[in-house]
Structure 1
Amino acid sequence: MRTTIRAALLCAGLVSMPALAAPAVLWEKVWSYDHAAGNAAGQKAEIPAYDPLNDTLWVAGVSGVDVLNARTGALIRHIDLSALGDVNSVAIRNGVAAVAIAAPDHTQPGVVQLFNSNTFAAAERIQVGALPDMVTFTPDGSRLLVANEGERAVMTDPSSTDPAGSVSVIDMSSRTVVATAGFAGVAGSDSVRLFPGKAAAVDLEPEYIAVSPDGSKAYVSLQEANAVGILDLATNTFTEVKSLGTKDYSLPGQGIDPSDKDGSVAVRTVPVKGMYMPDTIATYVAGGQTYLVTANEGDTRDEDVRIKDKSVRLDPSIFPDAAELKKDENLGRLTISPFDGLNASGEHEALYSYGSRSFSIRDANGDLVFDSGDDFERLLGERFPDIFDDGRSDNKGPEPEGLALMDVGGRMLAFIGFERTLEKLATAVIAIYDITDPLQSSFLDFIVSPGDLAPEGLVAFSRDGGYFLAVSSEGSDTTSLFRINLVPEPGGVALVLTALGLLGVIRRKR
């Protein structure tokens, strides 16, 4: 339609080559499936993957995988994998489903179990690193990448068993691990956020992997380290670990609501910095350049403290109003890192909180080109003033976690799921942004889905000319499918009508 309209205007001699107005988005829920209703013990809803060959959704969820009919949401089969450990993730390419499974003892090597996605028959079982948390194929399907998170045995005990984080590279022709990429000696690995006393080779924990569209590099989110590792897929080695820096909440448009005791969602600027700490990461190409998109959830190893705690001493030369800041209705309730931002005397000269309550776009070098600023909390507070969950304001706000990208009618859309939003109503919220031009990214709408809670994994796909988003929510153990459509803004609609009228005039004259 877009080409026809522009052609009509050109024929009329009224315009040169104008762009249409920015689109608006329409969405509707197609179906929802309750995984608990399937009566599979321990089955959750965490990570979905779409199989275009069979029009099915595979949903990974701790005890196994539920395979759903993508058109109706009906359960086709439950695959019980509880005997192998905890199912964390699933990916599908070329008729092969790969399921990442952590060992019962998460510090021991896990496995990736392959399946024929048509017959559901189990194929090879491949040993990988400790706690395989996410799995993805390269664009051509020739390799399978596994993020081995390698968490320590006891989060609060740095001396407990702590396996090294790594990425396993599996060759799909031989179905064997051809490389295990670790972080020892990698440029930048020792200069990012590390737990005190820990070496980068052990402390860096891969969370999520996104492969560049050309298949040359993989970008690995290292959440707790507030960093991204760049993996060269020609050599299967990490070439760099890039610190993501911090977000300054004292700047206009970058504020947060720091308290759950201030009576409302009150977004304001505060003298605090946010560590981005992304969970999900994705890639896309715009203007011939590769960009990274991250959902900046934030994460801790249970080391966080509140600003009002006696152990938190504020440098009086920087925080002369420390007593006022430590009140509950101000910054007192906000959780921060106990070891970042300390001076030589052990006083906090800077306050670092977890996550940035936003999503970001970065270039292929990891440099920031766009951040959604205070959009999430501000817009949620404005639209849902009585039901937006203010109870998480002192922690990480709405906690943007899941992320999916999809080209819809020539526009690149980003879908960002919030782990914490309308919990009072057991309702999930997913933000939609137009990121076609990374530098001019804009908010479009919220998907609001009653009956779903705490979206964990998102996958977007097209079928039969339609566009769809599947969302698995771990709080409600449901998977829901949404149909997505774009429509022109009112100005664009007027342009459409004008163009169609001009076409009619031109045809009548001919």
Structure 2
Amino acid sequence: MTRFGRTVPLLGLSLLSAAVLSACGGGGDDDDSTSPPPVTTPVSVSLEKVGSYESGVFLKSAAEIPAFDAASKRGFVVNAQKGALDVLDMSQPAAPRLIGQIDATAVRAGASVNSVAVQGGLVAVAVQDAVKTNPGLVAIYRAADLSLVGQVAVGALPDMLTFTPDGKTLLVANEGEPSDDYQIDPEGSISVIDVSDPAKPVARVADFSAFNGQNASLLAQGVRIFGPGASVAQDLEPEYIAVAPDGKTAWASLQENNALAEIDIVTARVKRIVPLGYKDHGLAENALDFADNDGENPAIHITTAPGLYGMYQPDAIAAYQAGDGNTYIVSANEGDARAWGEGTPAYFGDGAGGVGDPSKGFVEEWRIKHLVHKDGFLRRADDDLPAHLAGLAKGALLNPSVFAWCGAVAGNPGDCRADDQLGRLKVTWTLGYQTHADGSPRLFNQDGVADPAGDRLMYDRLYTYGGRSISIWDANGQQVWDSGSAIESFLASADCKLGAARNVPCADHFNTGHDETAQLDARSSAKGPEPEGLTVGRLGDKTLAFIGLERMGGVLVYDITNPRAPMRMDYLNTRENWTQAFSEDEAPDAAALSRLGDLGPEGLHFIAPKDSPTGEPLLMVGNEVSGTTAVYRLKLTY
């Protein structure tokens, strides 16, 4: 580990010459023209932490997205706190050492780095403009000497980027988020960049303009198009890209829209938008813990909730080819709400108990107990009442034919509002209420009777964020497998242990947060363990997925060789202090932060044995809360 810029080795690394692991999907490391020798497929895989670089910076996203160059043995880590790219010497993975920096302001004043991808000795960097709604750029550097090779303009807020397997094309997701006050909303897009001559990259734009005017059709299919006044192209916000092994097709996760976009790389065209559907939490296999009870009498209670649905809303996705010859997409179903202007008081009220100004933002997330209170919405004016919701009605009800299980009756949500029931769960108010054919809300009176003169919405369904799961989808975007309740159930079980020594029961800190004291059940009313980062690699005949749990922390390893029957292989969480009190207001110093270990895994990068400095497979993990870049080795059992 490092402390105050010094690097302290953890464990020595032994060579593992029998293993060969190659990256799957786009954005891999240097290609080797020599085919590796045949290898034996391991029976099991587990993780062991062997090294760490510590920035000493807490909760400032000082370590987000990692990448690695095999020839120079250098790691590249997005440091959002600096707005730059940290360069690490990883010739000794047990002791990664900071040796340089790529500063985005050298190519554009006030700019910052969002993401990185490395292939063939080139380092591609997504650069955000100082004004995030302005077009950004992609800059290309040489890994060996950090010299700038070329650059090209792309769309607004370029983020995740990845190479095609042959290294000749680079794709970047231009998220196009609106300004915080929602006054400017650029279009989302995917830039397809020819980097066959990296000194003169040429970008084409795969945009969504062809879908403008198809709002009604997309909504009917299940694509969330809901930004106020936004065209389809403005509303769609590409988050992450996965490239097919043949390099001809890519998919972009449209996280807030709960959909995937399929992209033809050859023509730089978005072929279609595929809705991902909703997860029925009324089914036993999709049970969840939806109540945190606000810190009072916290408990693990994984159960069903009829009428509650999860929006998958994946963040990271990856593509791989299975044994049947077909391409599949694996997704980390984090979930994400739109919350623009949440720090703007005028959006939530006029200061005198009235409705806020909808032109000052857009916030879709609200707790159920506020949404369906018998006294209506205005009781939350000047607090957290979204102005757009206040413009729809004066209150909302739960349909008793759906929510009787938690106590709802006509005109009264009953105990469904209780903190130990659905009350504290965060949902979107934009979905689930009854509407007329034209999409306008069907209104009810306070007794729950349909009445054109009424002022209440009637919710038949409630939609929460994320699937608390990983999923596998076929090339057409149809789900072939989902982990259901398996992640939360495992974290609640006696089999799950925390810490590098694996000696702390996970159940003692189930669904904890990543930026404060580890409080049992703290995140159950939000998105639970929050699977976010993901990378995929191949080991012999096995395909492995590595998933970072943003809130609970740690990395899950799944064998996804059979896309219809994945198996969990390991879980390692190297947060070490689970009792110390800390918060954003009282950040730990570098020494205390070192003792805390790794918090908030954001990005993961797999290093194949042929590219590894030690000849064994490694995993890099950027932890945004602790500001650490952790290095793990894969321990293989045959």
**TM-score between the two structures when normalised by the length of structure 2:** 0.69
1:468-506 CA-to-partner distances (Å, cap 9, x unmatched) read: 110000010100110002214xxxxxxxxxxxxxxxxxx
Q: Give the alignment of 1:1-150 within 5 angstroms.
A: 23-36=43-56, 44-62=62-80, 63-70=83-90, 71=92, 72-82=95-105, 83-150=109-176
Q: How far 1:315 moved relative to its partner?
A: 2.1
1:318 maps to what in 2? 402
1:151-197 CA-to-partner distances (Å, cap 9, x unmatched) read: 0102xx54x10000001111113533431111122487554101154
Distance 2:46 2:332 in 1: 22
CA contact (8 A) 1:168 1:177 kept: no
CA contact (8 A) 2:42 2:540 kept: no
1:6-26 CA-to-partner distances (Å, cap 9, x unmatched) read: xxxxxxxxxxxxxx9983323
SS at match of 2:487: helix
Q: How far 1:265 moved relative to its partner?
A: 2.1
1:21-69 CA-to-partner distances (Å, cap 9, x unmatched) read: 98332321110001237x9xx7711101111222221101222111112
Ranges of 4+ aligned residues in structure 1 off by more than 4 Å: 187-191
Equivalenced residue count is 459
Instruction: Give the number of the structure with larger relative contact order, counting CA–CA contacts within 8 Å between residues 6 or more apart.
Output: 2
Distance 2:481 2:400 in 1: 34
Q: How far 1:463 moved relative to its partner?
A: 2.5
Q: How far 1:410 moved relative to its partner?
A: 2.5
Q: What residue identity is the alignment partner of 2:131?
A: D
* Percentage of identical aligned residues: 43
2:263 aligned to which of 228, 231, 250: 231
Q: Does residue 622 of structure 2 align to residue 472 of structure 1?
A: yes
Q: Give the alignment of 1:325-364 within 5 angstroms.
A: 325-343=416-434, 344-345=442-443, 346-364=457-475
Q: What residue identity is the alignment partner of 1:324?
A: D
Q: What residue identity is the alignment partner of 1:33?
A: Y
Q: What residue identity is the alignment partner of 2:634?
A: I
1:212 maps to what in 2? 244
2:187 aligned to which of 152, 159, 164: 164
Q: What residue identity is the alignment partner of 2:64?
A: E
2:278 aligned to which of 246, 249, 252: 246
2:298 maps to what in 1? 263
Alpha carbons of structure 1 residues 255 and 470: separation in structure 2 relative to 1, 3 Å: same
CA contact (8 A) 2:89 2:98 kept: yes
Q: What residue identity is the alignment partner of 2:466?
A: G
CA contact (8 A) 2:126 2:161 kept: yes
1:325-356 CA-to-partner distances (Å, cap 9, x unmatched) read: 11110111100010111102321111100000
2:593 maps to what in 1? none
Q: What residue identity is the alignment partner of 1:442?
A: M
Q: How far 1:101 moved relative to its partner?
A: 1.2
Distance 1:84 1:143 in 2: 27
Distance 1:133 1:354 in 2: 22
**TM-score between the two structures when normalised by the length of structure 1:** 0.86
Structure in which a larger fraction of residues adopt strand: 1
CA contact (8 A) 1:265 1:377 kept: no
Q: What residue identity is the alignment partner of 1:283?
A: A
Alpha carbons of structure 1 residues 21 and 113: separation in structure 2 relative to 1, 3 Å: closer
Alpha carbons of structure 1 residues 59 and 332: separation in structure 2 relative to 1, 3 Å: same
Distance 2:139 2:258 in 1: 30
Q: Does residue 508 of structure 2 align to residue 386 of structure 1?
A: yes
1:439-493 CA-to-partner distances (Å, cap 9, x unmatched) read: 11011121121211000000111135411110000010100110002214xxxxx
1:411 aligned to which of 516, 538, 542: 542
Distance 1:485 1:409 in 2: 14
1:370-414 CA-to-partner distances (Å, cap 9, x unmatched) read: 111111111112231112211110000011000011112321111
SS at match of 1:377: helix
Alpha carbons of structure 1 residues 228 and 307: separation in structure 2 relative to 1, 3 Å: same
Q: What residue identity is the alignment partner of 2:399?
A: D
1:109-149 CA-to-partner distances (Å, cap 9, x unmatched) read: 11111111111111222111100011111111111111000
CA contact (8 A) 2:334 2:467 kept: yes
SS at match of 1:319: helix
Q: How far 1:80 moved relative to its partner?
A: 2.5
Alpha carbons of structure 1 residues 446 and 145: separation in structure 2 relative to 1, 3 Å: same
Q: What residue identity is the alignment partner of 1:116?
A: R
Larger deviation: 114-123 or 288-297?
A: 114-123
* Structural RMSD (CA): 2.1
Q: What residue identity is the alignment partner of 2:98?
A: L
1:455 aligned to which of 597, 601, 605: 601
SS at match of 1:347: strand
Q: What residue identity is the alignment partner of 1:280?
A: A
CA contact (8 A) 2:61 2:625 kept: no
Distance 1:45 1:94 in 2: 23
Distance 1:45 1:171 in 2: 29
Larger deviation: 47-56 or 449-458?
A: 47-56
Q: How far 1:102 moved relative to its partner?
A: 0.8
CA contact (8 A) 2:533 2:547 kept: yes
Q: What residue identity is the alignment partner of 1:330?
A: Q
SS at match of 1:253: helix
CA contact (8 A) 2:41 2:540 kept: no
